[in-house]
């Protein structure tokens, strides 16, 4: 059902936690499945230096949160905005069709954090 990468990121999630005084924070949820994701960013010179997440949800939600943080670190704000829901699922070697909405939340939470960062910096 789940790929080895999904199971690895679920069992050993990367970048779990909160960043105090984060440069950007984004939170999204899906009422139909109950998943809630919150992503925190630290940005220096337009590059994402650190990303942390807190997720309440299923294994796929935790795995996609973990993967999107890994994908975002080191990218410019513009590059991170190009990360798509499909790219997150692909990086995990796919998700079952009924769990694809979870990858949508991870990319959306990242984009919301970037939006929050831009608002704080008058962009």
Marked catalytic residue, from 102, 110, 113, 114: 102
Cβ atoms of 110 and 80 within 8 Å: the answer is: yes
Look up 58 and say whether it is catalytic: no
Marked catalytic residue, from 16, 19, 33, 87: 33
Look up 102 and say whether it is catalytic: yes
Q: What angle do CA 113, 28, 40 make, to 5 degrees?
A: 30
Tokens coding 97: 């069709």
For residues 64 and 69, what is the distance between their CA atoms, to the nearest angstrom? 9
Where in the sequence numbering do the catalytic residues fall? Answer: 33, 102
């Amino acid at each position: 059902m789940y790929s080895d990468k999904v199971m690895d990121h679920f069992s050993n999630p990367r970048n779990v936690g909160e960043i105090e005084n984060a440069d950007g924070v984004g939170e999204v949820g899906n009422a139909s499945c109950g998943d809630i994701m919150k992503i925190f960013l630290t940005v220096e010179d337009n590059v994402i230096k650190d990303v942390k997440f807190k997720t309440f949800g299923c294994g796929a939600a935790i795995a996609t949160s973990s993967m999107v943080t890994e994908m975002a670190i080191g990218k410019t704000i513009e590059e991170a905005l190009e990360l798509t829901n499909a790219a997150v699922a692909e990086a995990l070697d796919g998700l079952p069709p009924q769990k694809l909405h979870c990858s949508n939340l991870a990319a959306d939470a990242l984009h919301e954090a970037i939006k929050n960062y831009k608002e704080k910096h008058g962009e």
